[in-house]
Structure 1
Amino acid sequence: MPRVVSRSSGSAAAYDPYAWVTDDIRSSPNQMDLEELTEFRQAGYLCGGTDEEANYEAIVPLPRERIYELNFHSPRVPDWIWFYKSMFTQVGVRIPFSDFQMALLNRISVCPSQLHPNSWASIRCFEMVCEYLELPASVDVFLFYFNLTNPSKQGKARKGFLSFRAAQGRKIFSLFEDSYHGFKDKYFKVRPVKGRHPFWLSLEGERLIQTYWSFGAGSNPFVKVSYKRLSAVDKNIANVLLAIFEKNHVNPHLLMGEREAGRSYILEMSATVTGLENLMKTFFEASDDENAEEKGAGKSEGPSGEKEGQGTETSGKQGLGGRVSPTHEEGPADGKATLSPHPDSDVELIHTPKKRKMSSSPEGVLTVMERNFDASKFIDSQLIPGTEEHFHATELSGQARWMYRTLLRGAVIARKAEFELSGMEALRRKLESSVKANNDFKAQVELLQGQLSEMGGKLNAAEEKSSFIAERLKASDETVARLLEREMTLENQLNAAQGLVVALEKEREQAISEAKAAKAEAVDLKKKLKVAKEQGKNAILMTEDALKAQLKIAAPDFEISSIGVFKTIQDGKIVDMPRK
């Protein structure tokens, strides 16, 4: 039923649905024109130049539109979403968002454009750090390190941008920009091309993330995450990040530059903390040596990756840490390889026999899975014997590179396994609790099925009542429509009658003014008539006196008293003229 606003109720335009938005956002119209937006698209900023570019189109908003406005024609299933230009050009955000970004936005219930660009930089840094350290990007871990705040200076009743700020005592990233300005007037709409599905909607058409600005954004009670709420795996991730970056915060500009430079930056920071910097350096050098030596043919290789029969320079500047391998000899009496001086190098690599294979599980030797396993005894008794000749015949620097590379790989494997092993007990407890919860759930399902059948009958009755009410409502709508039409007709007739009354009032006023003028003219004519009568009477008397004077001269003996202007002759006699 349409809403009717009477003339006496005031104007509906007085209601402002965006009164809660801060003034700095409301007073920032878009300054991004079509040419600038076209250059933005051609540069591949929106989707990173991938095939996704063809799925979306960017639109310049109207001059009156602001970034916080929603589409009133389609508020529940939005056909567009707002973005700031700087999110893509300066922070490096791309659409469609990653799974981590979608999960985070869904948790905090904040649309992308209501989140400050500095916060987007923190999100990007967290993702990249986790990727380079081969850690899963966890929403809980991120919210453990960052608190969502409303930095509005206009009180709690107003909201602008929401920001992620480092939790007290848990800062791991520096700010992307200490004072971020000049981005509020550069924004645009993005909507899917016809026939394509947008990333912010599910296949059923439900919103996966918040798409418009909202006063209630960020009010989800699960936004704040304490250490106790973290899972065992997430606690390990949080501990690792804090150990690496607590004292040496990540610089977003160094991290979000060129990809390989950012990866090296993070790995160097982690190596500084874990003491693996030299191991990594040696590992990469050994990898380069292996790549170079694999090009040779007919040469066998030792564990150090160096070719046999070829000298290795160790002039004090070569080898790990600038060490020089000593020159020594061993007699051939024991059948082992011999090291002898070389004129061009300190050590000459001599052919070594193949290492004897050891049984994977010797008789009487404990395995690593047994509780009383002695690692040092196992190494001395089972691993080292038979390998002395192999290592004695190899250059010390080559052995060091090979050992460091092996240690580094083992450390990486151990780091990955640490998270899995630490979570096994938690997974077992979760499984037990899940079984119990499943049994409880089955009982609840049976109870709910009974309640569902009962509610089914009530629902049928409610549907019948609803259809009856719908019919009544439809009839009421038709009646209201007829009354509205009748009201409009009467209002038109009333307006016409009011116009006629106004015209008649004007004519009446004109007639009154004309009557007053005629009355004044009549009074004036009466005065003139009276004056004319007096003048006529005087003229007649003067004429009578003149006639009498003339007659007296002409006939002195004639009786002139009977003669007058108002006399007439009747029957031969002079008589008074009859008055009419």
Structure 2
Amino acid sequence: MKSGMSSSGSVSSSSSSESTESDRSKDGRLGGEGTSSGVVTSGMPMEVVREVREDPPEELEESNWPAKGGYGWVAADVRDQSSLFRWSRLLNSWLNCTPVMSRGVNGDIVSLERVSAIDRVCHGQEGATEKFFYMYMCHFSQLHVRLPLDDFTMGVLRALNVAPTQLHPNSWAYLQAFRILCESLYLEPTPYAFLYFYDTRPRRPATWLSLISRPSISRLDAFSQSFKHFKDGYFKVVVKEGGKSHFLNADGSTKFPFSWTNNPSRYKDMGVEELSAGDKEVVGMLLKFVDKLPTKGLVRVYNSVHPIIDIEGICLLLKLC
């Protein structure tokens, strides 16, 4: 049951389109200071990108800015954690080898920007001229989230009343696995069908929200990936004019919380009677399976070269084909 409820250092997201393994290999050869120079690899000339070591003076000066106040409702380990991506060179380097946008989507709908030295992942929109939200690099590199977020994902964030970075990455893994599982069963994933299998226990002061599997009905096993070092890898996703329809409602309100909230939704033993007909169809199908399904294996499908084949493999695993 549910109760209560800057542009400097910006990067064109179009450069973050799906990259190949050869691209990643090339990006891994970042060297020291200097200009780019040509090398020969496998008989073909290639350009080596030399990373510039100096940081812009304006980025260095931000360390002297006064800290933002008014966030005593957030746990100290959250509000004290700065980001690696206060440095534009690091963000640029990472984006060069990590896909962020969905295939076929115009990268101009958002601008991916560094954070300042005093920005924290829990901070709101104070002083911003354009709406933005934070994302972690693990969302893209390990969980294979892509922008823009789909209706299912935004619906889950809305139902939980949390910003993307407020939901713990392990819980994002459940969300990603649930979507692929539904796709393999030709079902439409819905936020409340997903949340039916989990409880939440929001804490005070506010910290990362975790989904707690309901032991008697959970159909996804525990995600074994470690996310101990995710906390310092956040950056800004700024919504541009062309992206407003993806992230904002007609009245200008956001389709999900862009900033951390001090009142995430609490769920405890949601009953079937609280579900819509569509939700019940999804839940009913998943409850037919006795064994827990591999969360990590389902998430890997997002990075597969042959996702259709892998989804068919899931069907065989579930004895559906």
CA contact (8 A) 2:181 2:298 kept: no
Indicate which of 141, 161, 168 corresponds to 2:193. 141
Q: Which residue of 1 aligns with 2:41?
A: none
Q: What stretches of structure 1 of length at least 5 have no aligned partner? A: 1-12, 151-155, 281-580
The one-letter amino acid of 2:198's match is F
Q: Which residue of 1 aligns with 2:288?
A: 243
The one-letter amino acid of 1:28's match is Q
- For 1:176 and 1:236, the matched residues in 2 are separated by 25
Indicate which of 162, 165, 168 corresponds to 1:116. 168
What are the within-5 Å matches in structure 2 for residues 163-182 of structure 1?
Answer: 163-177=210-224, 179-182=226-229
- For 1:203 and 1:233, the matched residues in 2 are separated by 26
What are the within-5 Å matches in structure 2 for residues 72-111 of structure 1?
Answer: 72-73=126-127, 79-111=131-163
- For 1:42 and 1:180, the matched residues in 2 are separated by 22
Larger Rg: 1 or 2?
1
What are the within-5 Å matches in structure 2 for residues 443-458 of structure 1?
Answer: none
Say which structure is richer in strand: 2
CA shift at 1:100, angstroms?
0.9
CA shift at 1:224, angstroms?
6.1
Q: Which residue of 1 aligns with 2:313?
A: 265
- For 2:204 and 2:295, the matched residues in 1 are separated by 35
CA contact (8 A) 1:146 1:166 kept: yes
Q: Which residue of 1 aligns with 2:117?
A: 63
CA contact (8 A) 1:114 1:162 kept: yes
CA contact (8 A) 1:84 1:183 kept: yes
Of structures 1 and 2, the one with the larger relative CO (CA 8 A, separation 6+) is 2
Q: Secondary structure at the match of 1:170?
A: coil
Q: Which residue of 1 aligns with 2:90?
A: 36
Size of the aligned set, in residue pairs, is: 251
The one-letter amino acid of 2:169's match is P
- For 1:85 and 1:207, the matched residues in 2 are separated by 22
CA contact (8 A) 1:109 1:210 kept: yes
After superposition, the Cα gap between the structure-2 partners of 1:214 and 1:231, relative to the gap in structure 1 and judged at 3 Å, is closer
The one-letter amino acid of 2:282's match is I
The one-letter amino acid of 2:279's match is D
TM-score, structure 2 as length reference = 0.70
After superposition, the Cα gap between the structure-2 partners of 1:228 and 1:204, relative to the gap in structure 1 and judged at 3 Å, is closer
Q: Which residue of 1 aligns with 2:62?
A: none
Q: Which residue of 1 aligns with 2:246?
A: 199
Say which structure is richer in helix: 1
Identity percentage of aligned residues: 24
TM-superposition CA deviations, 1:178-219 (whole Å, max 9, x none): 642111001101113356526321132112211101111225
Q: Secondary structure at the match of 1:20?
A: coil
After superposition, the Cα gap between the structure-2 partners of 1:16 and 1:36, relative to the gap in structure 1 and judged at 3 Å, is closer
The answer to whether structure 1 residue 128 and structure 2 residue 180 are counterparts is yes
Q: Which residue of 2 aligns with 1:424?
A: none
RMSD value, Cα:
2.6
Q: Secondary structure at the match of 1:243?
A: coil
After superposition, the Cα gap between the structure-2 partners of 1:43 and 1:105, relative to the gap in structure 1 and judged at 3 Å, is same
The one-letter amino acid of 1:252's match is K
The one-letter amino acid of 2:70's match is P
The one-letter amino acid of 2:294's match is V
- For 1:264 and 1:162, the matched residues in 2 are separated by 33
- For 2:140 and 2:297, the matched residues in 1 are separated by 15
CA shift at 1:49, angstroms?
4.7
TM-score, structure 1 as length reference = 0.40
Q: Secondary structure at the match of 2:286?
A: helix
- For 1:25 and 1:101, the matched residues in 2 are separated by 23
After superposition, the Cα gap between the structure-2 partners of 1:106 and 1:141, relative to the gap in structure 1 and judged at 3 Å, is same
Q: What stretches of structure 2 of length at least 5 have no aligned partner? A: 1-65
Q: Secondary structure at the match of 2:250?
A: coil
